[in-house]
Structure 1
Amino acid sequence: MVDPRDAIRDHLARALDDPASRWSLGGFGAVAEFDCAAGEPVTCLGRFGRLTPRGALILDPTDDLVMVAYETGFTGGWSHCVALCLPAAGALVSGVEVVNLRGADTGAARPQDRDALIFDLGLGMPQGWAGLRTRDPDLVARLSAACGVSAFASGSPVARLLAERRVDVVMGTPLGRIEVFGGPAAPAMGGPRAFVAPRMLRAGRTHAATAPIPPGLVPCALLHPPHPCRDAEGRPIPFDAGNHAAFQAVLSRWGDPRLVALKERLAAGEAMPRGAGRAARAVGRVVAAQVACQAESILEPDTGKMVPGSSRDVEKSIRDTTR
């Protein structure tokens, strides 16, 4: 029998080798993402680390790691991901809520960054921290002067440094780190990026309310496998049956068994149970979105081209699925 811990590690290693997969670390209101553009050079940092010219991802899958796969429906489509969770006792971290100096970043992915100073932004994320890293004497002086106050207080240099990409951004949780190297942005190529939304941070949440994370678990990283209807930049593509089947297999293995069974029944044409709760209705929205996406990309037998499906059939499927 395969050890569940080995199965998780093997899945993560395969996903790291897939350039179409994306990763994110952080919390509700502050997150860093890692992916790479087609043809971009990627260096392996052991089994669970990857380095590109624009950023790095280093994972540390612990023995108590729990994988939670789920889908989220929304107007016009759905998203899917695998949350890498830890029990709350080992996931929640404490720290000061003001800018503070962490010291030299000895855990940096690149050797040349390990003597650079990293300043913790003191964002108060329940499961992690975010920092700015630099060796520039002027920027070190400016960040040192901001220590002891809120990162986004009046006069703080943090917001401007984030916007100008003059420093490296490092996002860490108990499951690893993502580094976004400073320098010119390349929006057309995707790649590592970081976002901080102070208003969302004030909610103190570990994750969005729409994410069905079981009680007692805290998501510390997210894996975003390739989507069947959107590319890495969120643009629509013809339905990719391979990507869809791949995630359904992941969902069957690491999703909520009750919701997976409900989805199978709804997809087979059953009506939504009476008195269905929020989670069940969310599954219905996902099924409706997937029915619509597949119907809009029907393969024409004679030409092999993707052609629009019947809007009448799509509307009927949505009504039947969500009623």
Structure 2
Amino acid sequence: MPELEQVLKDALMQEDCGWNMGSFGAIAEFHHVAGDPAPRQHPGLMQVTSRGGIRIETLAGVRPVAYETLSPKPHRWTQAVSLCLPRDAAAMNQRDVLTALGPDDDALRDEDRGARLFDMGLGQFQADFCIRTADPELLAVLDENAGRSLFAQGNPAMGAILKHHPRRVLLTRLGRVEVYQMIGGPDTGGKSPEGPHTHVLPKLLKAERTHSANTPIPEGWVPCCGVHPENPVITRLGADKVFNPAAFDAFQELLAAWGADAYCQGKQAVWELLNTETPAEAAKEPETREGRAGWRNGIRQWRVLHGPDRLTKAYAQHFDRGVEQTDPENPGH
């Protein structure tokens, strides 16, 4: 059984591992950018660059949940580990108005600790989505409109935030992600910058969910931090890449330890049938949704591991047409 703290320490030193904290519709991501200085060792579970950073402050009560999901692209799959807490333990402040929180004494970098922190008031269950600034012009607008919803008609605060690009700080019971880059929008050509960035998606926020319905989180648990180890077939920018067997094997170890039994059994079942060259017409897929997802990803992975042939093509045509388990927050992957 892998030891969670050591897995996370190793992952923080890997350039191709991504991280996030947030909820369904409000998320902060931390990624290394190719060409930037290599990750550095820090005390505890922390990584920080000139673009952003992450710190996991506690693992008390954490349940790691490893999973793979189906991609809309039939030669791919996605993978992650969610660090989950019981629902009661995961709850944050759920403020629904802009709220001044004072100086950010816990900022990752010394130079940021004098700047002031404001909860944006997005009301998310397991995440306080905040901004941090020392800009006098922005502070004046934020102070004047504290106690009001950012979405109230005529509130100038959101426009001021988009204009001034304050640091974003996302807080959960496990720690924080900080983003120092510009907010994606008109000033960035309409897209998020590469590396650390945030998303606030009002349509998804209205669903009032803690996570995507396609993320297989056990009942009663809430994801508070996402870990995305190197994907063996997808680059960090979302392009196809030459299969990396070491990355595949490393995640299979985590999946075996922390994944759903039904998913793993579904994958193992189809691998055994493919290994014995059982015809697709004689195979029967699992009855559960998780089992079918494991079965279908098993077909995809077998083709990558062993090369395509008529048998795997027949299995793909029979069982892997259309995708029932994709993530609307990452629709292209």
Corresponding residue of 1:278: 289
1:88-107 pair list within 5 angstroms:
88-107=87-106
Structure 1 equivalent of residue 15 of structure 2: 19
CA separation of 1:197/1:120 partners in 2, compared to 1, >3 Å: closer, same or farther? Answer: same
Q: Point out where structure 1 has 5 or more consecutive residues left out of the alignment.
A: 299-308
Aligned to 1:236: 240
Is the contact between residue 272 and residue 322 of structure 1 (CA under 8 Å) also seen in structure 2? no
Instruction: Check the 8 A contact 2:22/2:172 in 1, yes or no.
Output: yes
TM-score calculated relative to the size of structure 2: 0.84
- Deviation of residue 35 (structure 1)? 1.2
User: 1:278–1:162: structure 2 CA closer, same or farther, 3 Å change rule?
Assistant: farther
* Conserved? CA contact 2:234–2:240, under 8 Å: yes
Q: What is the CA–CA distance in structure 1 between the aligned matches of 2:230 and 2:89, rounded to whole Å? A: 30
Q: Which residue of 1 aligns with 2:70?
A: 73
Instruction: Spell out, residue by residue over 1:247-303, the C-alpha distance to the aligned partner (whole angstroms, 9 max, x if none).
Output: 1111001111232122111122273446x12222222332233345456xx5xxxxx
Tell me the equivalent position of 1:63: 60
Report the 3-state secondary structure (helix = DSSP H, G, I; strand = E; otherwise coil) of the residue aligned with 1:83.
strand
Contact 2:263 / 2:293 at 8 angstroms: preserved in 1?
no
Q: Secondary structure at the match of 1:218?
A: strand
Equivalent residue runs for 1:1-323 within 5 Å: 7-41=3-37, 42-76=39-73, 77-157=76-156, 159-160=158-159, 163-164=162-163, 166-183=165-182, 190-269=194-273, 271-273=283-285, 276-294=287-305, 298=307, 309-310=308-309, 312-319=310-317
- The answer (yes or no) to whether the contact 1:37–1:189 under 8 Å persists in 2 is no
CA distance in 2: counterparts of 1:110 and 1:169, whole angstroms: 14
Letter in 2 for 1:64: G
The question of whether the paired residues in 1 share the 8 Å contact of 2:118 and 2:132 is answered with yes
Q: Note closer, same or farther for the CA distance 1:158–1:256 as it changes in structure 2 (3 Å cut).
A: farther
Any idea what SS the aligned residue of 1:269 has? helix
Residues 152, 244 of structure 1: CA spacing in aligned structure 2 closer, same or farther, 3 A cutoff? same
SS state at 1:13 partner: helix
- Is contact 1:288–1:317 with CA below 8 Å preserved after alignment? yes
Structure 2 Cα separation of the partners of residues 164 and 264 of structure 1? 52
Which region of structure 1 is more displaced relative to structure 2, 140-149 or 65-74?
A: 140-149
- What are the ranges of 5 or more consecutive residues in structure 2 without an aligned counterpart? 275-282, 322-333
Between the aligned partners of 1:99 and 1:64, the Cα distance in structure 2 is: 30
2:280 corresponds to which residue?
none
SS in 1 for 2:240: coil
Secondary structure class of the residue paired with 1:268: helix
Q: How far 1:60 moved relative to its partner?
A: 1.6
Structure 1: distance between partners of 2:94 and 2:42: 28
CA distances 1:130-164 after superposition (whole Å, capped 9, x unpaired): 11111011000111223222223333345445545
| Amino acid paired to 1:277 | T
Compared CA separation, residues 29 and 162, structure 1 to 2 (3 A): farther
Q: Taking structure 1 as reference, are residues 10 and 139 closer, same or farther at Cα in structure 2, changes over 3 Å only? A: same
SS at 1:67 equivalent: strand
Decide which moves more: 27-36 or 279-288: 279-288
2-structure distance, mates of 1:195, 1:170: 12
Give TM-score scaled by structure 1 length: 0.86
Name the stretch that deviates more: 249-258 or 152-161: 152-161
What SS does the corresponding residue of 2:216 show, helix, strand or coil?
coil
State the AA in 1 paired with 2:316.
Answer: I
Give distance in 1, aligned partners of 2:97 and 2:193: 34
Distance 1:278 1:294 in 2: 24
